[in-house]
Amino acid sequence: MTEIAVYGASGFTGRLVVAELARRGVRVVLVGRDEGRLRRVAVAGTAAGTDADVRVAGVEEPAVLVAAFDGCAAVVNCVAPFESFGEPVVRAAVTAGCHYVDTTGEQPYLKRVFDTFGEAAEGAGVTVVPALADDGGPGDLIAHLTAAALGRDAPVESLTIADLRLPGGVSRGTARTALANRRLWGRDGGLHWVDGAWHRGTVARCETVPVPEVGAEGERGELKVAPFALPGIVTVPRHVPARRVEAVMRAEVAPLFTALSEELVEALPDGPGPAERAAARWLMAAYADGADGRRARGAVTGTDGYGLTAVIAVEGALRLVAGGSAPGVLAPSQAFDPADFLAGLEPHGVRWSVRA
């Protein structure tokens, strides 16, 4: 039976990933530093009919971490902040010969994974696909499809990736990650892409974007946005030949990430409750302008961003195990057929559209 390891399995997102793997009948290997917390997750899973194995390994123990992944077909990394803990897990997964996905949205870490692990992953014959969360995964896929809607003979002048979700509850892990990376959230942080290279600074030429075709029910006209350091800035230029790629977020949501403090973060609950998650809607959009004046827009949306992050990560890991993706470090749209992957999320309440 296929075994998939979940690193950070006792965390909020990790537990959701474990539950999604169990729902699909996949044997789970729970990996992390705290044996007590891991065994509580395993006991809860056993009561629900899940068969799980517990392996204790910290990121500061490379050999132990490699041994923990031994025999697994893939690793789903849910540890955060990835800036602090992510790279040893990628290295161990590749060394153990495991495919790898994670749920990061952190630009510096994400870029280092692409810059550092490509050759090793190719040599090991495994595929590494970071940023398979509700922003990085769907954002990358819908950006690729939107740019393609301009037509093969239409050079992409500019592509804007937009996170248009409304304010909602966040987990303590998400808040800790934002706090650890808060230098990125300001107007001068993060990256943008122009003329074949990444440049410092989350700059964007647009202050508003049109309301998408799906996911913004009851809203009309234009939405106010602000520059923001989204993961798509690192992944999308690898498969979309655009002269400029920028990222924005709803203007009322972006400042919330810079307002965090240590006291506020530690006062947060482990994660939003089921009712709050069910009421929350995530929405990723893309706007492409062709050099010839043609335009296209696309959007993908769903409820419960944390639950869908687990679905997206598990879907990606299982597709890698099934084969068909090239070895190396790949963006989601390079590893998977974008339309087919989004179609695979539709049974989970995801809706998407692209219009030229």
pLDDT of residue 28: 95
Angle at 287 between CA 133 and CA 83, to 5 degrees: 30
Query: For position 269, what pLDDT does the model report?
Result: 84
pLDDT tens per residue across span 240-267: 999 999 999 999 988 777 777 788 778 8
CA–CA distance, 322 with 80 (Å, rounded to integer): 27
pTM, to two decimals: 0.94
Strand 74-77, strand 3-7: pairing: parallel
Q: How far apart are alpha carbons 97 and 101 in whole angstroms?
A: 13
Q: How far is CA 146 from CA 162, 175, 243, 254, 349, in A?
A: 12, 31, 15, 24, 21
pLDDT of residue 42: 85
Which pLDDT value is given to residue 47?
38
Residue ranges per structural domain of the chain: 3-133+309-338, 136-304+342-355
- Element (DSSP H or E) covering residue 85: helix 82-95
Which residue bears the tokens 């804007």?
160
Chain segment 98-137, per-residue pLDDT in tens = 999 999 999 999 999 999 999 999 999 999 999 999 999 9
The fourth-level CATH superfamily of domain 3-133+309-338 is: NAD(P)-binding Rossmann-like Domain (3.40.50.720)
CATH number of 136-304+342-355: 3.30.360
Cα separation of the two ends of the chain? 44
Query: What is the mean pLDDT of each successive set of 10 residues along the chain, which is 356 residues long?
Result: 92 95 94 93 62 89 97 96 94 98 95 97 98 97 97 88 90 80 59 93 87 88 93 97 95 81 81 90 96 95 96 98 97 98 97 96
